[in-house]
Amino acid sequence: MEEDMLRRRADAAGGEASDAGSLAGLLGCVAAGDRAAFRRLYDLVAPRLFGVALRIVGERGLAADALQDAFIQVLNQSARFDPARGSAEAWLVSLVRYRALDIVRGRRREVLGFEPAEAPLEEPDALALLSADEEGAALRTCLEALAAERRRLIELAFIDGFSQAELAARFRLPLGTVKSSIRRGLLKLRECLGR
């Protein structure tokens, strides 16, 4: 069954990576074991995918790591790509994005519990830039009306990208407490903003 699917993908690609012209065709050839198609695919999309990874991780070396991990996954799992479920480019971007996010999360875990002894309990206001427009000012006012710990959880979750599990570990709180605190805070924000 899988061999038939691979053969159909290779046939759809014209059997030659240079004639495939489409990323989906190249992925079909890669799934059939065509190393030249893999090289062509890499040459076509690596610069764009590197840019995606670099925007997420912020460091060239880490972006290169994310790109390499993603292409290893492409080599090993290209048979899983299904053009009926979405475009090849979206599939490739998602692979790189997930690898890059894994790197960011791993780095965050390394320093999650670290805070210098002299550090104030509150970090500088992460919403300072929002005050420039009316909606931002309203959101800031509503956030300031929340209890400090609830506001902090919402800021870390929605601005800094921490997961609720990471926040529970960071503040040594039960996960359910973090979830309900964020949910209640969001309800208060909605009420305050009149939405």
CATH 1.20.1250.20 fits domain 2-111? no
Residue 30 has a pLDDT of 92
End-to-end CA gap in the chain? 52
Residue of higher predicted confidence among 117 and 104 = 104
pLDDT at 192: 86
Composition of the chain by helix, strand, coil, percent to 5: 75, 0, 25
Residues comprising the chain, all counted: 195
Question: Domain 128-193's class?
Answer: mainly alpha
Picking from 185, 187, 149, the residue whose alpha carbon sits closest to that of residue 168 is: 149
Range name among 2-16, 46-60, 79-93 with the lowest pLDDT average: 2-16
Higher pLDDT, 170 or 9: 170
**Per-residue tokens: 68:** 């390499």
Task: Give the pLDDT band of residue 64 (cuts 50, 70, 90).
Answer: very high
If you ran DSSP here, which 8-state letter would residue 123 be given? P
Domain boundaries, the chain: 2-111, 128-193
